Structure 1
Amino acid sequence: MNAEPLLSVIIPVHDQWPLTRQCLHGLRTATHGNFFEVLVVDNASQDATPTACPPLGRKLFGDRFAFLRRNMNQGFGPACNLAAHTARGELLFFLNNDTVPQPGWFEPLRAALTEEPDLGAVGPLLVYPVSKPSPKQSADHDTNAGVKPQTTAQCPQTQHLGIAFCLQKRPHHLYEHFPARHPLVGKKRRVSALTAAALLLPRSLFLTLDGFYPGYVNGYEDLELCARIRRQGLALRCVPESTIIHYSSQTPGRFDHDQANARLLQERCAALITPDLNRHIVQDGLKPALTPWLLPHAVQQDEDTRHLAPLTQSPLPALLDLLEAHPLWQAGYEAAGRLLQEKSDWPQALEIRLRQANLRPSLAAYTHLLRAALKCGQQSLATETQNRIAVINRLLADPHTLRRKAAHLANQARMLGEDDLERLYRQACKPCGQ
């Protein structure tokens, strides 16, 4: 290697060689010039990675490629820290191996850091692949999580646009499953956290902050890093002009440590986390809402619902176009889903019911999704959906506990001065029919 590179791309891997190969080819195709180096950190892979990756990396990137082999898998954070100390670039770009960068991904990210000097880190818009196998599911059945089966949608859907925190200080991907072309996805916004699946920041800042805290196991270390960046008085922004396809959470056992990681984040960073999900929803012209089991989500304003009401009688193609423009339109999902089921077009009905369950969650939506999954022979999705329904039913079977939790959260909202949010939880405290 000769001149110091501007950028060091760091890709931690553990097995999954086909994904790594796809990522490296995608990175080379989408990134012109030799201003960057690529460092692959192998966390003790047992597949073809140790033998196949070095020659491919040298073929694609020449002497600007390095393969760092570790004899023990100590996880994502330590692998990234190791590479950061080896890297020579002014900027670091952490990149998961289950990603495919799209042409022009780097320039908007670099421009944002250059033009907004108070930014500490930036990330691209991550989208789900079109007509590809979906991400693997979380091992637990957290009712805050979405359901992600195979997708047949022809418009890419948003996977990551930045992270916001709800009143319980749990992380939520903003507008996950929205069409990537939706205006809210393209809006310029600053966020509380960004995923390290694709994260750009100055190397000097990363080293000053001592990198990722090694106590996390493959999750939440990026949330703490972002909290510590903000503690420095710096901001975070997703740059949607930069796009990367994310196959998301392909590593087996990716979610096995989420509960322990979440507890560790609360222990270390509770004071640095401010609930802001409600603020984003309101500023974007939407309304905050709660499911009966107290899952926060966004809904349309009442006037938008009234305006769209006559359009539920539209032909199916028009309904599908309207749902692209109005992805929170509950009645539209019901109308489109019904028409697709009448036509026995179960694959497209599955897509519609999936989006409905993720964006407008309800027991009815999950029941529709379960039926569509069974009709399409997607047994793993059907099983996951059945499990989710069972969890929700268990929660709903204990209304006293739910009302007590709602009262506690209403008091939290009051102490934060969030009047609208307090009213929302106070309403949830009331028994049905009141």
Structure 2
Amino acid sequence: MPTGKLEWGRILGRLSPYTIQKGFRYLKHFGFKEFWIRLHERFEPEEIPYGPWYEEYRPDPEELEKQRKRKWKNPPKISIAVPAYQTPEKFLRQMMDSVLEQTYENWELCIVNASPKDASMEYILREYSRKDERIRWKKLEENKGIAENTNEALAMTTGDYVGLLDHDDLLAPNALYEVASALEREPDTEVIYTDEDKVRGEELEHFQPHLKPDFSPDLLRSNNYICHFFVVKKSILEKTGGFRRDYDGAQDYDFIFRCTEKAEKICHIPEILYHWRTHESSTADNPESKLYAFEAGKRAIEDNLKRSGLTGTVTQTKDYGFYRVKYPVIGTPLVSIIIPNKDAREDLEKCITSILGRSIYSNYEILIVENNSTSQEIFDYYRQLSENPKIRLLRWKKEFNYSAINNYAASKAKGEYLLFLNNDTEVITSDWIEEMLGFCQREDTGVVGAKLYYGNNTIQHAGTVIGIGGIAGHMFVDMPRERSGYMHKASIIQDLSAVTAACMMMKRQVFEAVQGFEETLSVAFNDVDLCLRVRELGYLVVYDPYVELYHYESKSRGAEDNKEKIRRFQTEIEFMRCRWEKLLKEGDPYYNKNLSLAKWNYSLRPKD
């Protein structure tokens, strides 16, 4: 969550020989330009430093004691499976201590020791199992690899639910309490995951919080964002057959895919309950230590696509552990591109020229909706455009109402897919139509949105979050185009609650099912409202950053600077507050309660 200028003295003070070596590896991998960009993102100071924030955030001793005294109606037994191999004594003790410190009592810790010749590990495991009978362990005759070692640990479990814990990581003391609480609230839950952070050094310094959204299948295909702490119902675990050794290195990624595919109900607990230890040999701190893991991750995604009945090409991005899925277009369906316009000759010409000149996909029509223009030059331009058989001119003679104009155009469109586009946009990526179509043709997808830039190459839109600024706001506004943002979210495919209609594709059947744009919302929030109604029908809204356009932003409409416009804007805000009151109170499921609603860069939310 970085902003501001780099503090080079602070950075240099933290450079160890290992860090310098790591830097050279990244420089070789990314090249100088991209390495420099990522260096800025990694080391810029946090707006709200995470360390102090976490100290305020974590439950105090009084709260932990209160949790220990809670009376449970039907407390589930939670098994924790740990495959251990050549674990340093300190790490092993700290891991087991973190389980012993849990405020929830109905658990068992099942550890497999895959280091049969390590007398120190065996001594420590015997010591702890004598200390607490809930700690059970098993000695293997040989190291079978991470997947098979984990399966041996899973076979030991007797609980209703099973959680996965790495041998050198830590659970927060309230981790199992929060899991049990979630299960008491929603007993039909079959998969649970939580937020996490990283720890390093002797003092276990907390850093890099991963504050996650609720379940997002497209985000999971972009990155194993679920990762830790992952808990699954025993019956679901048994249906999956456990871990697969062919995916060693990404065995948890493959396992999470197969569990979430089978689960009817998936619960995300937006609390930091898992601490991932970083050291030189861990994937968390040194991705190049396990490059084979990223290839295994690619195969895990490909398998998920096959099992889901989807066809897609998976490629690794330059950022380790992050992937892109590209879906092929089936057939050549007609796409209707709808562009409202008033007077803006220069903007419209730039937009149309970019569509005609850069688009690879050819089966489209352009519907320009003329709305009370007065300049002669725009009508001269319309006459030029009328010679192109792909372009039709519609007239909307009533006052400006973005929703009504687009609804009218949609009723006249011939396409199976509707692509709503602002007149002040300019296409950058030549495969933009087929990229959006690839997603929109999926049965589960209703809306696809794009990544938009201002003319100065800063971000104008990288998805929309409900609650930002009051009702909804775009993410990463004004961030330089080349940056990828918090957890690379500006640059990876994911599911969101909404995207902007400045460039948005929809299935016609879905558009008609929700009866189009809400005409009460004549200017603001109509795209947000439309996306939310599409979500209510169970469809996904996909943000695709590989569709890139410039958006020169509403110059033709003017500012909200008179009493009538201000009154109208306030009315539309009130409409949204009333219609989406429950969602605004509960928070955007694709965001996180610990993130700011006053900033749009995934900054931490200040603690009260």
Q: TM-score, normalised by structure 1?
A: 0.56
Query: Is the 8 Å Cα contact of residues 468 and 600 (structure 2) preserved in structure 1?
Result: no
Q: How does 1:274-285 map to 2 (within 5 A)?
A: 276=587, 280=591
Distance in 2 (alpha carbons) for counterparts of 1:299 and 1:218: 27
Distance in 1 (alpha carbons) for counterparts of 2:585 and 2:535: 11
Distance in 2 (alpha carbons) for counterparts of 1:271 and 1:49: 48
Shift of 1:42: 0.7
Q: Which amino acid aligns with 2:571?
A: A
SS at match of 2:520: coil
- Give the corresponding residue for 1:6: 334
Match of 2:431 among 104, 108, 132: 104
SS at match of 1:180: coil
1:121 and 2:468 equivalent?
Answer: no
Q: For the structure 1 residues 275 and 126, does the alpha-carbon distance in structure 2 shift closer, same or farther, using more than 3 Å as the test?
A: farther
Q: How does 1:302-317 map to 2 (within 5 A)?
A: none
CA RMSD of aligned residues (A): 2.6
User: What is the count of residue pairs matched by the alignment?
Assistant: 266
- Give the corresponding residue for 1:354: none
Match of 1:175 among 467, 472, 476: 476
Which structure's relative contact order is higher, taking Cα pairs within 8 Å and 6+ residues apart? 1
- Give the corresponding residue for 2:404: 78
Cα offsets for 1:259-283 (capped at 9, x unmatched): 221111112232355655696468x
- Give the corresponding residue for 2:582: 271
Q: How does 1:197-208 map to 2 (within 5 A)?
A: 197-208=502-513
Long gaps (5+) in structure 1: 131-155, 302-420, 427-434
SS at match of 1:266: helix
Distance in 1 (alpha carbons) for counterparts of 2:421 and 2:361: 18
Q: For the structure 1 residues 113 and 278, does the alpha-carbon distance in structure 2 shift closer, same or farther, using more than 3 Å as the test?
A: closer
1:212 and 2:517 equivalent?
Answer: yes
Distance in 1 (alpha carbons) for counterparts of 2:475 and 2:539: 20
SS at match of 1:193: coil
Q: For the structure 1 residues 278 and 8, does the alpha-carbon distance in structure 2 shift closer, same or farther, using more than 3 Å as the test?
A: closer
SS at match of 1:240: strand
Match of 2:352 among 24, 31, 39: 24
Distance in 2 (alpha carbons) for counterparts of 1:261 and 1:107: 34
Query: Is the 8 Å Cα contact of residues 281 and 298 (structure 1) preserved in structure 2?
Result: no
Q: How does 1:34-433 map to 2 (within 5 A)?
A: 34-48=362-376, 51-59=379-387, 62-102=388-428, 103-114=430-441, 116-130=442-456, 156-166=457-467, 169-183=470-484, 184=488, 185-255=490-560, 256=565, 257-273=568-584, 276=587, 280=591, 288=595, 295-296=598-599, 298=601, 424-426=606-608
Distance in 2 (alpha carbons) for counterparts of 1:212 and 1:236: 15
Query: Is the 8 Å Cα contact of residues 343 and 374 (structure 2) preserved in structure 1?
Result: yes
Q: For the structure 1 residues 159 and 25, does the alpha-carbon distance in structure 2 shift closer, same or farther, using more than 3 Å as the test?
A: same
- Give the corresponding residue for 2:90: none
Shift of 1:222: 0.9
Hey, which of these two has a bigger chunk of helix by percent?
1
Q: Which amino acid aligns with 1:6?
A: L
Q: For the structure 1 residues 125 and 180, does the alpha-carbon distance in structure 2 shift closer, same or farther, using more than 3 Å as the test?
A: same
Q: For the structure 1 residues 72 and 50, does the alpha-carbon distance in structure 2 shift closer, same or farther, using more than 3 Å as the test?
A: farther
Shift of 1:73: 2.4
Distance in 1 (alpha carbons) for counterparts of 2:510 and 2:590: 28
Query: Is the 8 Å Cα contact of residues 168 and 275 (structure 1) preserved in structure 2?
Result: no
SS at match of 1:242: strand
Q: TM-score, normalised by structure 2?
A: 0.41
Cα offsets for 1:322-356 (capped at 9, x unmatched): xxxxxxxxxxxxxxxxxxxxxxxxxxxxxxxxxxx
Query: Is the 8 Å Cα contact of residues 361 and 433 (structure 2) preserved in structure 1?
Result: no
Distance in 1 (alpha carbons) for counterparts of 2:493 and 2:586: 20
Moved more, 99-108 or 48-57: 48-57
Distance in 2 (alpha carbons) for counterparts of 1:215 and 1:300: 33
Q: Which amino acid aligns with 1:207?
A: E
Query: Is the 8 Å Cα contact of residues 163 and 173 (structure 1) preserved in structure 2?
Result: yes
Q: Which has the larger radius of gyration?
A: 2
- Give the corresponding residue for 2:134: none
Cα offsets for 1:181-234 (capped at 9, x unmatched): 323211222111111111100112112211111111212111111111011011
Q: For the structure 1 residues 71 and 281, does the alpha-carbon distance in structure 2 shift closer, same or farther, using more than 3 Å as the test?
A: same
- Give the corresponding residue for 1:322: none
Q: For the structure 1 residues 5 and 48, does the alpha-carbon distance in structure 2 shift closer, same or farther, using more than 3 Å as the test?
A: farther
SS at match of 1:236: strand
- Give the corresponding residue for 2:248: none
SS at match of 1:92: strand
Q: For the structure 1 residues 221 and 161, does the alpha-carbon distance in structure 2 shift closer, same or farther, using more than 3 Å as the test?
A: same
Distance in 1 (alpha carbons) for counterparts of 2:336 and 2:344: 22
- Give the corresponding residue for 1:360: none
Identity of aligned residues (%): 24
Distance in 1 (alpha carbons) for counterparts of 2:499 and 2:389: 31
Query: Is the 8 Å Cα contact of residues 119 and 234 (structure 1) preserved in structure 2?
Result: yes
SS at match of 1:39: strand
Q: Which amino acid aligns with 2:573?
A: A
Distance in 1 (alpha carbons) for counterparts of 2:439 and 2:535: 17
Query: Is the 8 Å Cα contact of residues 20 and 97 (structure 1) preserved in structure 2?
Result: yes
Runs (4+) of structure 1 exceeding 6 A deviation are none
Hey, which of these two has a bigger chunk of strand by percent?
2
SS at match of 1:18: helix
